Amino acid sequence: MAKTEVILTHNIVGLGGESDQVKVAAGYARNYLYPQGLAIPLTGANKRRLEVLKQRRAEREAHDLNTMSELAKSLQKLICVVAIKTGEDGKMFGTVTAGMIADQLKNQLDVSLDKRKIHLEHPIRTLGEHEVELRLHADVVTKLKVRVESTTPLAAPTEVAPEGGQDQLRTEKRGRRTEGSAGEKGEQTAAKGTASRGDRGPRAPRSGDRPARKEPTGQAGKPARADKASKAAE
């Protein structure tokens, strides 16, 4: 494939920055770089533009460095929250990636950051706070606090009865019921006895009772013995 040498007029990721002289495929330069104004052919006339391009590149890089330095200071004070689904045991469904962090930075903090500048040694797999490295610029590296939270509602804690607690509770309830029943029965018996004694009149004689002994009386209603004594005295 034929190659051609060009001078880049804009920064192209993976290819170079302004004023860089690079070799690319002729078709790529002809069909894309030239029409988009991203490069110019390497010719004697165009070489005189290199100083202008280098100056513009230096200004851009200085601006980028200043911007990223200010952004780093701001991000150090912030916390990016990422919500993710978890199971009842708190285990995450999936992982937190650089792309998810970049999305939340945009949504929560209105910070547009290329996910390639978010450096994760490995995806985040646990809840809680984590420190993530941000490579904002070749000369600017900072840390961002990322807090991973669960979107799954926590289950209500169940009360665990102490050992023997259920049996003791049943025994106490049974004892209270027994005491209550015995007290009620006693009150009912006492009430019945009182009512029986109060309503009942003198006891009627029974067929087996012996009749009361009566003294014999005389004519005037006096005892017979007294009459006999009087006659003997006469």
Q: How far apart are CA 143 and CA 124, in angstroms?
A: 15
DSSP state of 126: S
Task: Identify the pLDDT of residue 210.
Answer: 58
How far, in Å, CA of 3 to CA of 24, rounded? 6
**Hey, what long-range contacts does 55-59 have (CB within 8 A, 24 or more apart)?**
56/18, 57/11, 57/17, 57/18, 57/19
Region class of 30: left (phi > 0), else alpha (psi between -120 and 50), else beta: alpha
Q: Of the given ranges (72-81, 101-110, 139-148, 201-210), which has the lowest mean pLDDT?
A: 201-210
What per-residue confidence (pLDDT) applies to 209?
A: 53
Over 90: is that where the pLDDT of 201 sits?
Answer: no
Q: Which domains does the chain have, with CATH numbers?
A: 3-48 (3.40.5.10), 73-150 (3.10.430.100)
DSSP code string of 12-81:
BTTTB-TT-EEEEEHHHIIIIIHHHTSEEE--HHHHTTHHHHHHHHHHHHHHHHHHHHHHHHHHTT-EEE
Looking at residue 123, its pLDDT comes to: 87
Mark 39-64 as b/e (b = at least 16 C-beta within 10 Å). bbeeeeeeeeeeeebeeebeeebeeb
* Span 96-103, average pLDDT: 93
Q: What is the pLDDT of residues 152-195, one digit of tens each?
A: 765 555 555 455 555 665 666 566 665 555 555 555 555 555 54
68: pLDDT strictly greater than 50: yes
pLDDT score recorded for residue 207: 53
Residue 46 has pLDDT above 70, yes or no: yes
Assess whether pLDDT exceeds 50 at residue 52. yes
* Mean pLDDT, the chain, integer: 77
The model's confidence at residue 49, banded by pLDDT at 50, 70 and 90, is: confident
- Cα separation, 98 vs 146, whole angstroms: 11
Residue 45 has pLDDT above 60, yes or no: yes
- The residue that leads in pLDDT, 97 or 212, is 97
